[in-house]
Amino acid sequence: MQWRRLALDRWLRQGPRWVRSSWVDIVWAVFVGVNLLGMREMGAWSTVPFLVIWVSLTLVYGFRMWRLQPAILTVAVVTLATGGIIVGQVVDGQQEADYLVEVPLVALMFLAMVWHGRRRQAALLERLSRARRPVLIGLVAGTLFSALVWLPGTVAWLVPVLVLGTPFFGSLYTPAAAMVSESAQDQKLNHGIAFALTNLTWAAGQAIAASGSGALAEATSDAVPYLLLGAACLATLSGVLRTRPSELPDLSPEAD
């Protein structure tokens, strides 16, 4: 009895959330059920609800972009349900036998659309994966810069290292701005306000980091703030490398 109570409590907690996130699927399932009843009752006119079911499945998939397994399972259920009704009508003489050909035909057409949609989504993920490369290069260069800039301590060494290394830190501003834009859109925050807050925090961080690193260098040595900067770049690089392409932001509407 205890496991049943735990299962009930878990469903009561997660059930409403699942209903809110899947209301489109629930409404569509009810719609399909009504049209299946229409297929059984309309006899020779069952072609109309049959086509309405498959057209609605195409529209809902385009809106939801289910993952591969649920998509295949849905196609299989719809194929068996509509095909079973048509087989019964053919046996009863309400439909011609050649009407059965339409069931696998529309199913194959839908699967072809699913395959095309999956290929397009994979291409988008690949482009997102390639978009990480400038970030990786900037973080690697920032780590090396922080480790090398303080070593000899001469002007002849410092100037070329600064000239070559500083632009790599600047290359991180673009993906950071993109992250701010995406976060503002997710939170439904005006982009002007988001970037205004970004500028305020950047300015405050710049002031605190400049004075703090200077005081730290004076209390210890120049190597300490540079090594801390390199450690921050290395930690960020490790986090980016651990992020697989499958963990990148999902662009499908189902993610909403």
Residue 249 per-residue DSSP state: P
Gap between the Cα atoms of 202 and 208, Å rounded: 10
Q: What's the CA gap between 88 and 100, in Å, rounded? A: 11
Q: Is 59 exposed, middle or buried (0-12, 13-18, 19+ CB in 10 A)?
A: exposed
Residue pair 96/87 in contact by the 8 Å Cβ criterion: no
Q: Is the distance from CB of 237 to CB of 143 less than 8 angstroms?
A: yes
> Residue with structure tokens 């006119």?
45
A 10 A CB-CB count for 22 gives 14
Distance of CA 35 to the CA centre of its chain: 33
What's the Cα-to-Cα distance from 5 to each of 10, 56, 96, rounded to whole Å?
9, 38, 53
Identity of the residue numbered 49: P
What pTM, to 2 d.p., does this model score?
0.47
Separation CA 244–CA 76 (nearest Å)? 31
Q: Helices 47-64 and 68-91: crossing angle, nearest 10°?
A: 180
Query: What residue segments make up the domains of the chain, in order of their start?
Result: 2-128, 132-255
Residue 250: DSSP 8-state: P
CA 223 to mean position of chain CA atoms: 40
pLDDT at 166: 75
Question: Amino acid letter at 63?
Answer: F
Per-residue pLDDT tens digits of the chain, which is 256 residues long: 555 565 556 655 665 665 666 778 888 889 999 988 988 888 777 788 888 888 888 888 877 777 778 888 888 999 999 888 888 888 887 777 777 777 888 888 888 877 777 776 666 566 656 666 777 888 888 888 887 776 766 767 777 877 777 777 777 777 777 777 777 777 777 776 777 777 777 777 777 877 888 888 888 887 788 888 888 888 888 877 776 554 444 444 444 4
- Per-residue model confidence (pLDDT) at position 152: 65
CA dist 245 and 247 (Å) reads 5
Tokens of 86: 């048509």
CA 113-114-116 angle, to 5 degrees, is 65
